[in-house]
């Protein structure tokens, strides 16, 4: 299964991603932007129909998806025990027999990161010690982002001090809805400064932003303010990650890259549950941005239950039989 075996580490031909230093607030980059909703929906609808991957190639894409998952628990009843269990799955997302059958025993895949609340960072850091898997923490009054700014910045600093390598911040949606771009820029810039060396993912909560134009504009402001990633959703909105929204965001980060030379990462989150979802978003990234954006330093999927479906599909690939979803360790 050479196609599966050859998808491990980031290929040597890909240069490391330079940290986004941001720019001044440039309104002329986005104020007059127009987004054609019907055209975006038509384009998104073709992603999973014009391109298909089968057999060994499908298995390779699904293993790549595992490597890009931010395995997440953001529940009110999270405990250190639950986080430890999640981290154990992060380190060994596939059963040993599946790894062996795929020819990946020499370099078993792991997930891209584990994402938790700030209070659970210490447990996650301890459980993942020596694995190389980063800990991501939500912060800034997740999911609403409506606590006072000093408290939001303090929460970032707390999570970083506990060992978080990545911070998923939430923006103040009212600043987008009222088009107060300076306020949005200033707050995200302050959050980026509070993150220090930790990479910052800016959650736009796109389901609350009403229009694709607002999504594009908020994406551009977040990147100008120094975001390393832009992320669709908290997973708590009524509408979370969709392909038309994701298409709008990846075109915004492509435009930003063309203007500045910086490659910005993208993270869809919320409502992504199946192997088909994983492949559809990988196809989006590949077609819109190219092969470089299929690596975890530029692409993440915020998910929890998706991993169980991917493992089930890979088990079918190597055995020819579908197990019940409850057979997987995280179902």
Q: What are phi and psi of 105, to 5 degrees?
A: -60, -30
Residue 301 has pLDDT above 50, yes or no: yes
pLDDT, one tens digit per residue, over 142-183 is 999 999 999 999 999 999 999 999 999 999 999 999 999 999
First to last CA, the chain: 27
Catalytic residue among 64, 89, 201, 267: 267
Other C-beta atoms within 10 Å of 290: how many? 10
Q: What are phi and psi of 202, to 5 degrees?
A: -95, 115
267 is catalytic: yes
- The vertex-248 CA angle with 242 and 252, nearest 5°, equals 140
> For all residues of the chain together, what is the average pLDDT?
93
Q: How far apart are CA 205 and CA 270, in angstroms?
A: 10
* Average pLDDT estimate for 31-43: 95
Q: What pLDDT, on a 0 to 100 scale, did the predictor assign at position 136?
A: 98
Domains of the chain: 2-8+36-327 (3.20.20.70)
Torsion, Cα 99 101 104 110, to 10 degrees, reads -20
Beta strands in the chain (DSSP E): 69-72, 113-116, 135-138, 166-170, 199-203, 229-231, 265-267, 301-303
Catalytic residue among 168, 208, 228, 277: 168
Other C-beta atoms within 10 Å of 329: how many? 14
Res. 290 pLDDT band, cuts 50 70 90: very high
pLDDT, one tens digit per residue, over 269-285 is 999 999 999 999 999 99
Other C-beta atoms within 10 Å of 281: how many? 24
* Average pLDDT estimate for 56-81: 96
* Nearest Cα residue to 115 out of 242, 195, 201, 208: 201
* Beta strand pairing call for 229-231 and 166-170: unpaired
pLDDT, one tens digit per residue, over 99-150 is 999 999 999 999 999 999 999 999 999 999 999 999 999 999 999 999 999 9
Burial class (CB in 10 A: 0-12, 13-18, 19+), 53: middle
The pTM of this model reads: 0.94
Catalytic residue among 89, 231, 297, 309: 231
């Amino acid at each position: 299964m050479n196609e599966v075996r050859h998808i491990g580490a980031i290929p040597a031909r890909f240069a490391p991603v330079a940290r986004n230093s941001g720019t001044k607030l440039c309104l002329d980059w986005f104020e007059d932007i127009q987004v054609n909703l019907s055209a975006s929906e038509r384009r998104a609808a073709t992603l999973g129909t014009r391109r298909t991957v089968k057999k060994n190639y499908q298995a390779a894409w699904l293993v790549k998806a595992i490597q890009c998952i931010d395995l997440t628990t953001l529940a009110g009843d999270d405990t250190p025990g639950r986080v430890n269990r999640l981290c154990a799955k992060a380190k060994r997302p596939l059963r040993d027999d599946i790894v062996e059958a795929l020819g990946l025993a020499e370099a078993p895949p792991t997930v891209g990161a584990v994402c938790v609340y700030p209070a659970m960072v210490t447990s996650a850091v301890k459980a993942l010690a020596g694995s190389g898997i980063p800990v991501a923490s939500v912060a800034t009054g997740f999911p609403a982002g409506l606590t006072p700014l000093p408290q939001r910045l303090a929460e970032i600093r707390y999570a970083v001090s506990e060992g978080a390598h990545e911070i998923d911040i939430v923006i103040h949606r009212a600043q987008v809805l009222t088009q107060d771009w300076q306020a949005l820029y200033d707050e995200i810039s302050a959050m980026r400064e509070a993150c220090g060396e930790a990479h910052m993912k800016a959650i736009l909560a796109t389901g609350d932003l009403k229009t694709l134009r607002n999504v594009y504009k908020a994406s551009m402001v977040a990147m100008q303010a120094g975001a390393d990633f832009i992320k669709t959703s908290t997973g708590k909105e009524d509408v979370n990650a969709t392909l038309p929204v994701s298409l709008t965001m990846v075109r915004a980060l492509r435009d930003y890259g063309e203007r500045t030379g910086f490659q910005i990462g993208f993270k869809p989150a919320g409502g992504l549950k199946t192997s088909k979802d994983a492949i559809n978003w990988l196809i989006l990234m590949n077609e819109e941005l190219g092969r470089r954006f299929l690596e975890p330093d530029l692409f993440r999927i915020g998910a929890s239950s998706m991993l169980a479906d991917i493992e089930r599909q890979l088990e079918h690939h190597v055995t020819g039989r579908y197990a019940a979803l409850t057979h997987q360790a995280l179902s």
